[in-house]
Structure 1
């Protein structure tokens, strides 16, 4: 876009700025406010003109966008063409624009909705998982078996020589955890306290330490102790740990079931939502602006760095190259443009009632729900996060109404523990912000225990 500004407008702005400067500038030999304009212009003219021209170009650029009804994606590259004093100011702004999105026919979308019921067997498994999360270890005087925890000393040698990282003392190892190289844990099954075991193994070819990868190794292991897992009893103390202080095991099972059903509902909706979003991406051909992809890459990179916690402060962001996030960023931006077009065409806004229901649903998993609700409504950033999620769900419902959806009955485990490739699926870019620390302790198990262990 080429923008031209009359020379008179530029000169008037420069003169006005110089006149303002003349009122306050101090120059030796002149009283304050009495410095001749010729002196002011000679001393400050070039700098003031450069400053004014920059401001005019910025203002004129945005004014031109408004007049031409153009929506830029990202910042422009501005190149001056004419800057000479006395001539019209002319510059060229180069930038990407948001693409035109033509929505596809949602009625052609076919999806499968997975549904399940929580059975008594599912509840039993969940309670066992919860017990395992709080299990203790008790030393036993028998041969070790899978699931036991051994305290061991070991020394590893390659060609009779010890190597870095190949020895340890007093380390705990749960048999069957696959922490060690293949054959190590299996070789300690049936060992007893005081046993000395020689393991002749081989490092995998793909082992992370290239110095030892693929090489034969001998480990001399001393078993200091063997401990078996001891599950906590199902008593009032155990139930209270999950916020259930009355009603004993019967009410505890009801609480667990309620949370599992909540998880089922959420999982079913998320799986269906993922499938619909995948199809939206496949049925829309959009030329995604590189500026938007670049911005999203930066968001994803920062999120990745945050996962490192305090250690992220010492990490160089360039260690995470753009290509690592480009595919995901492209999909998120594309999906955001599609959803944004639906919101625009339908004039949609977050439904206050659904926002309230969502917050109250979250609050029910905490000990003091009213405090949690007040916390969300008193925290603008977190409230906007919920509103964004609700609006995205409303768009999802809009697509769902037109799509052809069939139900398929599956087990609780199948629905709540999707395959890894499903969990890595495309996510909407209706703008969300990182969640802040939540305000209260949880009331009862709201998540699948296996997932918590992972």
Structure 2
């Protein structure tokens, strides 16, 4: 006890731990005696192996274990004495002792501590609160989008144009030679959707079912496939089928397909308006939450422990790799630098420390009613809300996620009571980020 703690940086600390080997001998002897009671060795009855042999067999390991236990015990006591909140695990390094190394064991313990979180004055900050009125035009746009999502296609005998769906066979060649991935059959695409290069899709315009056509396409210098970047490819294309889009109109049939039993368009519009207003409320809350979190960060200067940042970087990198694999890409072929994730990792750790302190300082808690409300709100986006609710309650981990969201909502509500809010009128499209 009473070790001097050295500051190596904002959050890095170090102190020495000295242990007398002589003081540990009793514990070493006791452990060896316990081991001797169960030691089995050919030529001796169980538990009757001489202590000298037991010591030869297990002595070095037992001595090291006792030393390690003593070091960890001393570490915990010193940390408690100095009221240090340690992050992760310390790094122990053996030091050459000034005394007899046979009797004195000295190590240095290097570690990081949690920072002191001092919440700033939120009343000095302003944020914008979006004000949105759902208009008839917004409802019309939503209906138009719903109709487009229900587009079907019918075969036609005419020249292909933008918006048509075509099925083609194609063969690509560079300087008269085939290349990997340059040919395919029964490929379906919608002209103008941008699935293929613009020049390729434009060259299909005007073709009819059964037509064959040959044309050149210049691939851009920055094309993602380096083997094709900057090259001119000659394509031979056969158009197998041609279909035009059939977009449903807004009528009682559409209303019925959307759950309005009597096909009343007025009820359909009312339902859409309620859905849009519910989405507006969510988006406004999200905008406010984003601003509140930024204010908390701006008003609370904070150093973050490197160990936590590095752990978060590892998590983010793994998430990115999983996402790439889910998209059919090989993560090993795409280099991911830790530096790419450092900023986001620091942001998350800082915010997490601030929120944790704020929740503790102000005694914020998530009620069961709040958790239920969050789960039910999420469930409304699915066809069978009741099943989704049961699914959440069947998993402690999923419940914890909902509780964390409820706690964040309580933080936002608390902060909004401190931060000045300035109303700003915006359109529905602006709020939704629709250009």
Given the two structures, how large is their TM-score scaled by the length of structure 1? 0.82
Cα deviation, 1:162-217, whole Å, max 9, x if unaligned, reads: 33333322211211111222322123223322333343331111011223312233
Give, in whole Å, the separation in 2 of the partners of 1:399 and 1:185.
53
- Per-residue deviation, 1:235: 7.4
**2:80 counterpart of 1:66:** yes
* Counterpart position of 2:10: none
Residue in structure 2 matching 1:227, options 239, 243, 258:
243
Aligned-residue RMSD, C-alpha: 3.0
| Alpha-carbon shift at residue 9 of structure 1 (Å) | 4.9
Alpha-carbon distance in 2 for matches of 1:311, 1:124: 35
Q: Aligned partners of 1:154, 1:357: CA distance in 2, in Å?
A: 53
Is 1:12–2:60 an aligned residue pair?
no
Q: Deviations over 1:95-123 (max 9, x none)?
A: 11112223222122222122322223322
Note closer, same or farther for the CA distance 1:372–1:184 as it changes in structure 2 (3 Å cut). closer
Q: Is the 8 A contact 2:166 2:239 kept in 1?
A: yes
Larger Rg: 2
1:54 equivalent to 2:61? Answer no
Unaligned runs of 5+ in 2: 1-14
Structure 1 residues 313 and 295, CA, compared in 2 at 3 Å: closer, same or farther? farther
The farther-off stretch of 38-47 and 289-298 is 38-47
Partner of 1:32: 46
Deviation at 1:148, TM superposition (A): 0.9
How is 1:262-273 mapped onto 2 (pairs within 5 angstroms)? Answer: 262-273=278-289
Quick one: distance in 2 between partners of 1:245 and 1:10?
Answer: 81
The answer on 1:346 being equivalent to 2:387 is: no
Change in Cα spacing, 1:30 to 1:232, as seen in structure 2 (3 Å) is: same
Gaps of 5+ in 1: 420-454
Of residues 203, 210, 216, the one that matches 1:200 is: 216
Aligned residues of 1:297 and 1:326 also touching (Cα < 8 A): yes
Match among 101, 108, 115 for residue 99 of structure 1: 115
CA distance in 2, matches of 1:318, 1:202: 26
Provide the aligned length of Structure 1 versus Structure 2: 418
Flag the 1:196–1:231 CA change in 2: closer, same or farther, 3 A: same
Asked if the contact 1:144–1:190 (Cα under 8 Å) also holds between the matched residues in 2, the reply is yes
Q: Given the superposition, is the C-alpha separation of residues 356 and 17 from structure 1 closer, same or farther in structure 2, using an over 3 Å criterion?
A: same
Change (3 A) 1:49 1:340: same
Say which SS state the counterpart of residue 42 (structure 2) adopts.
Answer: coil
Tell me if 1:2 matches 2:13.
no
Match of 1:402 in 2: 418
Within 1, Cα distance between the matches of 2:107 and 2:333?
A: 34
Retained in 1: the 8 A contact 2:256–2:263?
no
Name the CA shift for 1:25/1:235 in 2 (closer, same or farther; >3 Å).
Answer: farther
**Deviations for 1:44-64, whole angstroms, at most 9, x for unmatched residues?**
111211223233333433343
1:169 to 1:312, Cα distance in 2 relative to 1, 3 A: closer
Q: Distance between the aligned counterparts of 1:338 and 1:329, measured in 2?
A: 14
229-238 vs 205-214, which moves further: 229-238
Match of 1:452 in 2: none
Relative distance call for 1:350 and 1:89 in structure 2 (3 A) is: farther
Q: CA deviation at 1:310?
A: 6.1
Cα distance per residue 1:101-156 (max 9 Å; x no partner)? 23222122222122322223322322332333333221111222211111122233
* Residue among 255, 261, 271 paired with 1:246: 261
**2:120–2:299 contact (8 Å) kept in structure 1:** yes
Q: Which residue of 2 aligns with 1:153?
A: 169
Structure-1 residue corresponding to 2:201: 185
Higher mean C-alpha displacement, 392-401 vs 318-327 = 318-327
1:253-291 C-alpha deviation (Å, 9 max, x unpaired): 433332222211111111222233234334443222110
1:441 alignment partner in structure 2: none
Q: Deviations over 1:63-99 (max 9, x none)?
A: 4333322112232211133798863543221111112
Deviation at 1:227, TM superposition (A): 0.8
Q: Is the 8 A contact 2:122 2:299 kept in 1?
A: no
